[in-house]
Amino acid sequence: MDTNMSIFPLFDSEHNAKEDTKWLKENLHYENFDEIVRKWKMTGIHRLKCLEEDHRKNKTALKLFRNWPHYKLPRGPQLILIDYDMKFQESKENLYTRYEEVFVPFMINHCFPSDLLDPSLAKTFNELTALKDEMSKDAINALVMYLLHGYIKPTRKGEEEEDNIENSEDEIPKTKGRGRKKNTNKSKQNPKQIAIIAEASANSQSNQQVDKSTSNKFGIADSIESMIKVRTNISATVPKKKLEQTFILCIGEDIYHLRDFYIVMEETKYIATSFLHALEVTFKIFNLFNFGYPTESINIWTFIQKFFFDIHYSKHDFVNTTVGSLMKKLTLFEKDLKTIEMEALDEALL
C-alpha cells in the first residue's frame, strides 16, 4: 500500500514509545482500558512504522498480531480505529451520513431491481420492498450492500480490471504493484484487497440464493461470500480453513431479519454495534494492515474506499467503469438533495 498519506503526529518520542510499548506487552489485560488507550496513542508513530516495516518484509497477519496482541482484545476495534485515524489523517470519511442519506435511497429508488445482473437478486429486492416496514435499519443497510454485488460486475479470476474512467484524476487503485501486499488471508493465488463478506444463510429461501454460474469467472455469489456471510447463529459460522479471511458476519433468521453483526479477522470475532460499524472496522482493518481486498469483491471495496472514505492511492490506477459511473451518479444525486434541502430552507424563511 502506498503510504504517502501516512502523516505521523508529533506527540510521542522514540525512547518513550519503546518504554510504553514494553508496558503494553506486560499489561495485555490491564483493568484500566483508558490507560491502555493512552499508552496506545503515545506509541502510535512507533507502531505504524513497525506495521509498515512488517508489510515490507511480507510478514503474515499472525506474526503481526503476535507483536501487537491488543488488537485481538474484545475492544480491539477501538485500537484499530485509533491507528487508522492516525495513518489516514487527510482522508475525509463520511460513511455514516452518505450511506443512509445518499447511497441507500439512490440504490433502492434508482438502480434496483432493473440494473441487477442476477434475476434471483431482483427477487430478493422485491422481498425487501415487501418486508421493508418490518425490517431493521441495519438489515436494510446490509441487504443493500448485499445487492450491490449484483450491480457491480465481479472481478475476473487472475485479471485486473482493464476498464478506465476517461479523464479521471484519481482512479481506484489496482491491488497488484504499488507496494500492495498480497492477500495471504484468502489464498496464495489472490493478491488482492480486503473484504466484507456475504453469504446467504443455509436456511434462506431459494430466491435468496445467488447463482454462481452468472459469470464464467468469479460469480456474484463469490463476490458476496468474500465480504458478507449470513448465518442463523454465531456457532454456525464458517469452516476453520476459511477463518483466515476478514469479513462481516451477520446473524439472523434470514437476510431480511438480521440482528447481530461481527467482524471476523483471523480466528477473532469482534462484536459490532451495527452493520455500518462492522463495515467501517472491516474496511479499516484492510487498509491499516495493508491486507489487500479479496479478489472477488475488489470492485465493491474500491467503491467503498473512494466514495465513503475518500482514499485515493494513485492517479494512475484503473477503475471499473461501473464503479466510476455509480460514484458520479451518487455525487449528482447528493447535490440534488442538498439543492432541494436549501430550497426548502429558503421557503421556510420567507
Dump pLDDT digits (tens) for 227-249: 999 999 887 655 555 445 799 99
pLDDT band, residue 14 (cuts 50/70/90) = low
User: Among 160-174, 209-223, 280-294, 303-317, where is mean pLDDT lowest?
Assistant: 160-174
Give me the pLDDT at residue 239, please.
Answer: 54
Cβ burial 7-16 (10 Å sphere, 16+ → b, else e):
eeeeebeeee
For residue 202, pLDDT over 70 is answered with no
Q: How confident is the model at residue 45 (pLDDT cuts 50, 70, 90)?
A: very high
Report the C-alpha gap between 8 and 47 in whole angstroms: 10
CA distances from 340 to 102, 108, 117, 332, 346 (A): 13, 19, 32, 12, 10
Would you place residue 197 in the very low, low, confident or very high pLDDT band (cuts 50, 70, 90)?
A: very low
Residue in the block written with cell 488488537: 71
- Domain segments of the chain: what residues? 14-87, 95-329
**Higher model confidence: residue 174 or residue 39?**
39
ω into 173 cis (within 30 of 0): no
Give per-residue pLDDT as tens, 141-153.
999 999 999 999 8
> Distances in Å between the alpha carbon of 143 and those of 69, 99, 276, 286, 329?
33, 13, 12, 22, 20
Per-residue model confidence (pLDDT) at position 343: 78
**Burial (CB count <10 Å: 0-12, 13-18, 19+), residue 319:** buried
Output the pLDDT for position 157. 60
C-alpha to C-alpha distance for 274 and 70, rounded to whole angstroms: 22
What is the per-residue pLDDT for 18? 85
